[in-house]
Amino acid sequence: MTDLLIKNGRIIDPANGIDGKGDVLVREGKIAEVGRVSVDGATEVIDARNLLVVPGLIDMHVHLREPGDEEEETIASGAAAAAAGGFTSVVCMPNTDPAIDNEATVDFVYRQAAKAGKANVFPAGAITKGWEGKELAEMGQMVRGGAVAFTDDGSGVQNPAVMLRAMQYVKMFDKPILEHCQDNALSGRGCMNAGLQATVLGLPGMNRLAEELMLYRDIQLARQAGARFHAQHLSTRGAAQMVRQAKQEGIRVTAEVTPHHLLLTEEACQGYDTNYKMNPPLRTREDIEALRQAVADGTIDCLAGDHAPHLASEKELEFLSAPSGIICLDCALGLYAKALIETGTVDWPRLIALMTSGPARILGIAKGTLGIGCEADITIIDPRHSWEVEVSRFYSKSRNCPYDGWTLCGRAVYTIVGGVIQFQLNR
């Protein structure tokens, strides 16, 4: 394997407290040197002048649809989209068909990802068999196979007794429970935020209490079990405050937020465009401001896209019947920069921490660092690169994205996985 020298960049490595100009030497797929590097001989060189050199970005919440719905996305196409967006590692959700609820399916994900070779794909295992919320899956066996977390994402575990047993079980392996906090009895047929906009549009609303009451329940269960609990895609100011309070009380709680809940409000649904149908739904301007504040003060531990591919024929259904979710792997970095950098909420080092060391710490994986001897997963970012989102050019197989035509600033120009360049932007 050819040595790779990345020189003259601004190195931001929050895991190791590094923020300064320097070089990175990659040898045999590992980080060999960081700082001022002088290498003679036949070495591949990237001049990163005016660019950010950071640990490979991590998205711990993506849907890759394989096995079962490969027409929407495959592990290979999702990994390619990840690399194009600057992500070297992603965690795929288990709500596939069949569900990722056993060691064999966990192994299948790893084998498909290795075959694709574009990015590291870590599987999250289902909490319950068949993702049905009734009987615990064999989490111990899935840990042995390489599952990094457990979730029934998409529905959440509705039975509190089942969730408590899951937390008690998974504590033995020190893996996090990732929860889609939604009380289905309260959410009902809701397809957007409950409020004036839903009333005007004649659509059933989803009360924020569906999220907040489930989150409160799970925080209390985590307190009881002493387990690690991670709240997925927070969408309300009340949920953010609840996580903040739980952390102050010493409960082992972490949380994530998505680009769309940092940028879009319920008003986007006025045209009945199903690309704005999310679960949890888009909320209000006040919720956006509260979530940005939660990012700024450390309540939010990481950023996660909830990349959710769907067929055009599905998204063309009426608003009530269409599936929830959008794709964003190809453009997430620019969206976070728009929501958080351009608004002065955080600076680039903090943003990079939220996309590298933050998710790596939650998952307990040896990623999100430029430490010597670590796998050379590196993202090189041009923070000043202005570009227009063209969904038709995405690497994802699906096209359900509301950001087509948006102008963003900040983009990955190189994505390096294990010392190999997997994506290079043609500028």
**pLDDT computed for residue 39 by the predictor:** 74
Closest alpha carbon to 56 in 403, 409, 381, 397: 381
- Measured CA to CA, the distance from residue 193 to residue 216 in angstroms comes to 19
**pLDDT computed for residue 37 by the predictor:** 87
Judged by phi (left if over 0) then psi (alpha if -120 to 50, else beta), residue 11 lies in: beta
Question: Domains in the chain, please, with CATH?
Answer: 4-52+375-424 (2.30.40.10), 56-363 (3.20.20.140)
In contact, 93 and 156? CB cutoff 8 Å: no
- Measured CA to CA, the distance from residue 341 to residue 303 in angstroms comes to 13
- Measured CA to CA, the distance from residue 269 to residue 131 in angstroms comes to 30
User: Residue 256 forms beta bridges with which residues?
Assistant: 302
3-state secondary structure the chain: CCCEEEEEEEEEEHHHCEEEEEEEEEECCEEEEEECCCCCCCCEEEECCCCEEEECEEEEEECCCCCCCCCCCCHHHHHHHHHHCCEEEEEECCCCCCCCCCHHHHHHHHHHHHHHCCCEEEECECCEHHHCCCCECCHHHHHHHCCCCECCCCCCCCCHHHHHHHHHHHHHHCCCEEECCCCHHHHCCCCEECCHHHHHHCCCEECCHHHHHHHHHHHHHHHHHCCCEEECCCCCHHHHHHHHHHHHCCCCEEEEECCHHHHCCHHHHHHCCHHHCCCCCCCCHHHHHHHHHHHHCCCCCEECCCECCCCHHHHCCCCCCCCCCCCCCCCHHHHHHHHHHCCCCCCHHHHHHHHCHHHHHHHCCCCCCCCCCCECCEEEEEEEEEEECCHHHCCCCCCCCCCCCCEEEEEEEEEEECCEEEEECCC
287 is catalytic: no
Residue partners of 406: CB distance under 8 A and separation at least 6: 331, 388, 389
Tell me the per-residue pLDDT of 303-362, one tens digit each, with 9 for 90 and over. 999 999 999 999 999 999 999 999 999 999 999 999 999 999 999 999 999 999 999 999
Tokens of 244: 């903040």
pLDDT digit of tens for each residue in the chain (427 aa)? 679 999 999 999 999 999 999 999 999 999 999 998 877 765 799 999 999 999 999 999 999 999 999 999 999 999 999 999 999 999 999 999 999 999 999 999 999 999 999 999 999 999 999 999 999 999 999 999 999 999 999 889 999 999 999 999 999 999 999 999 999 999 999 999 999 999 999 999 999 999 999 999 999 999 999 999 999 999 999 999 999 999 999 999 999 999 999 999 999 999 999 999 999 999 999 999 999 999 999 999 999 999 999 999 999 999 999 999 999 999 999 999 999 999 999 999 999 999 999 999 999 999 999 999 999 999 999 999 999 999 999 999 999 999 999 999 999 999 999 999 999 998 7
In contact, 193 and 203? CB cutoff 8 Å: no
Closest alpha carbon to 33 in 1, 2, 6: 6
**pLDDT computed for residue 41 by the predictor:** 60
- Pairing state between β 18-27 and 4-13: antiparallel
Tokens of 396: 């994802």
Catalytic residue among 59, 218, 306, 377: 306
The HSE-up count of residue 366 (CA atoms within 13 Å, CB side) is 10
Tell me the per-residue pLDDT of 250-274, one tens digit each, with 9 for 90 and over. 999 999 999 999 999 999 999 999 9
Distances (CA, A) of 25 to 11, 55, 423: 12, 13, 18
In contact, 6 and 46? CB cutoff 8 Å: yes
**pLDDT computed for residue 346 by the predictor:** 98
**pLDDT computed for residue 2 by the predictor:** 76
Cα dihedral 271, 272, 276, 282 sign: positive
- Pairing state between β 407-417 and 44-47: unpaired
